[in-house]
Amino acid sequence: MIDLTLTELKDALARGDFSARELTAAYLQRIREHNGTLNAYITVTEEQALAAADASDARRARGEAGLLEGLPVAHKDIFCTRDVRTSCGSLMLDTFNAPYDATVVARMADAGAIMLGKTNMDEFAMGSSNETSYYGPVRNPWDTARVPGGSSGGAAAAVAGRLAPAATGTDTGGSIRQPAALCGVTGLKPTYGRVSRWGMIAFASSLDQAGPMAHTAADCALLLQAMAGHDDKDSTCVNEPVTDYCAALSGDISGLTIGLPEEFFPDDLDGRIADATQAVVRVLEQRGARVAKVSLPSVALSVPAYYVIAPAEASSNLSRFDGVRYGHRCDDPADLMDLYKRSRSEGFGEEVKRRILVGTYALSHGYYDAYYLRAQKVRRLIRDDFKRAFEQCDVLLGPTSPELAFALGSKKDDPVTMYMADVFTIAVNLAGLPALSMPAGFIDGLPVGVQLIGNYFDEGRLLNVAHSYQQETEWHRQAPALGGTA
Ligand code: GLN
Give the CA distances from residue 203 to residues 41, 363, 453, in Å, rounded to whole numbers and listed in that order: 21, 16, 23
Residue 174 domain flag: yes
Residue 175 domain flag: yes
Residue 419 domain flag: no
Other CB atoms within 10 Å distance of the CB of residue 272: 13
Contact 410, 145 (CB under 8 A): no
Residue 290 CA to ligand 1 centre (angstroms) = 33
Taking residues 362-391, report their average pLDDT: 95
- Structure confidence by residue, pLDDT tens digits, 411-431: 988 999 999 999 999 999 999
| 3-class state of residue 400 by DSSP | coil
Q: What H or E segment, with its residue span, contains residue 337?
A: helix 336-347
Residue 19 domain flag: yes
Residue nearest to atom 5 of ligand 1 (CA): 173
Instruction: Kindly tell me if the per-residue pLDDT of 252 is higher than 90.
Output: yes
Residue 128 domain flag: yes
Q: Which residues are catalytic?
A: 76, 151, 175
- Structure confidence by residue, pLDDT tens digits, 324-361: 988 999 999 999 999 999 999 999 999 999 999 999 99
Residue 33 CA to ligand 1 centre (angstroms) = 30
**What letter does residue 79 receive in the DSSP assignment?**
B
- Structure confidence by residue, pLDDT tens digits, 378-395: 999 999 999 999 999 999
Question: What is the atom index within ligand 1 of the atom nearest the CA of 207?
Answer: 8
Residue 277 CA to ligand 1 centre (angstroms) = 23
Taking residues 118-130, report their average pLDDT: 98
- How many structural domains does the chain have? 1
What is the best residue among 172, 192, 416, 429 to mutate for testing ligand 1's pocket, by most ligand atoms within 8 Å of CB? 172
Instruction: Kindly tell me if the per-residue pLDDT of 486 is higher than 90.
Output: no
Residue 388 CA to ligand 1 centre (angstroms) = 26
Contact 41, 74 (CB under 8 A): yes
- Rounded Cα–Cα distance for residues 48 and 21 (Å): 11
pTM for this one? Answer: 0.97
User: Radius of gyration (Cα) for the chain, nearest Å?
Assistant: 21
Residue 165 domain flag: yes
- Confidence class for position 484, pLDDT limits 50, 70, 90: low
Residue 444: give the domain boundaries. Answer: 6-251+436-477
Residue 223 domain flag: yes
Q: What H or E segment, with its residue span, contains residue 65?
A: none
Q: Which residues' Cβ are closer than 6 Å to ligand 1? A: 125-128, 151, 171-175, 203, 310, 422
Residue 445 domain flag: yes
Residues 6+ apart with CB under 8 A from 239: 230
Q: Domain holding 204: CATH number?
A: 3.90.1300.10
Question: What is the atom index within ligand 1 of the atom nearest the CA of 128?
Answer: 1
